[in-house]
Structure 1
């Protein structure tokens, strides 16, 4: 199974469209959204082509392919317009004999990990900073941000397939890779 991970769209129709194009080009089986879908948040500038209504339409069009997690900028009012669940604080996935714990990153994060066994994978968004590293016990991943990257990163998403995790930009270049 091939999974695409994306985080922090923040209402950008421009980057949401690029994300969906990448999802189709990658031929991923599922799109895992790690939160902050529609609202830009009070600490962020408006992202390019801020148009939450357009983002709603684009995401609802592929609702059966999305697994989403609530971010700190997502609210019940967002759930009222999106046709797929977004209010869970985390999801647990199983891939190739591994447990993947996915969360936005504002509750559980690298300094406050959920209950994990050695070799498990923790993936989050929230920081807008990409990461792929092996800790002493677990694997820590962050696909970066679709629309508002920080720390001089570019817009990125993650692809997990087999025992490999790649962070890619919208030119489909691998920015970072980690063998799981």
Structure 2
């Protein structure tokens, strides 16, 4: 399966259009959104092109291609206007022989991890900072960064998961990091 992974759109129609253009280029089987889809919460740094209703109109037609988990800014009111489920706290996926625990990151993270077996992957957004690091008992923590409001001078970005591994890309599609599924130091 070819999976595109993105997080933290925060209602930006401007960056949602760029993500969907990247999706058109990448042709993934599914797009996994790791939460904070429509709203920005009590923050002062609104993303460029903040227009949640436009984001709704762009994402609803893609409902069959979307997998989502709930972010700290996602609510039942959001679910009422979206045609795809967004309120699950996590999803379990598989990458080769590894289990991937996909969540937003506000409940489960490296400081408060979910139950993971040796070698499992914790995948979350929330921090707006791309990450690929070992933790725990041979586990990996991966983060695609943020589509709309990246932090720590990171790119507006997403990840791709293919049979060979993970690739972090900016919204133009340039790869800035890769991680093979069979890497010897990753669990």
2:167 matched residue in structure 1: 166
- The question of whether the paired residues in 2 share the 8 Å contact of 1:132 and 1:177 is answered with no
User: Deviations along 1:13-69, whole A, 9 cap, x unmatched?
Assistant: 011111111112111111000000000111241111100000001110101000000
C-alpha spacing 1:175/1:26, structure 2 compared with 1 (3 Å): same
Measure how far apart 1:94 and its partner are. Answer: 2.0
1:39 matched residue in structure 2: 39
Matching of residues 11-90 of structure 1 within 5 Å? 11-90=11-90
- The 1-side partners of 2:164 and 2:122 are apart by 14
Point out where structure 1 has 5 or more consecutive residues left out of the alignment: none
- TM-score normalized by the length of structure 2: 0.93
C-alpha spacing 1:145/1:44, structure 2 compared with 1 (3 Å): farther
- The question of whether the paired residues in 2 share the 8 Å contact of 1:134 and 1:140 is answered with yes
Q: Which runs of 4+ in 1 moved over 3 A?
A: none
CA RMSD of aligned residues (A): 1.1
Count of residue pairs the alignment pairs up: 180
Matching of residues 132-171 of structure 1 within 5 Å? 132-135=132-135, 136-171=137-172
- The question of whether the paired residues in 2 share the 8 Å contact of 1:6 and 1:31 is answered with yes
- TM-score normalized by the length of structure 1: 0.96
1:126 matched residue in structure 2: 126
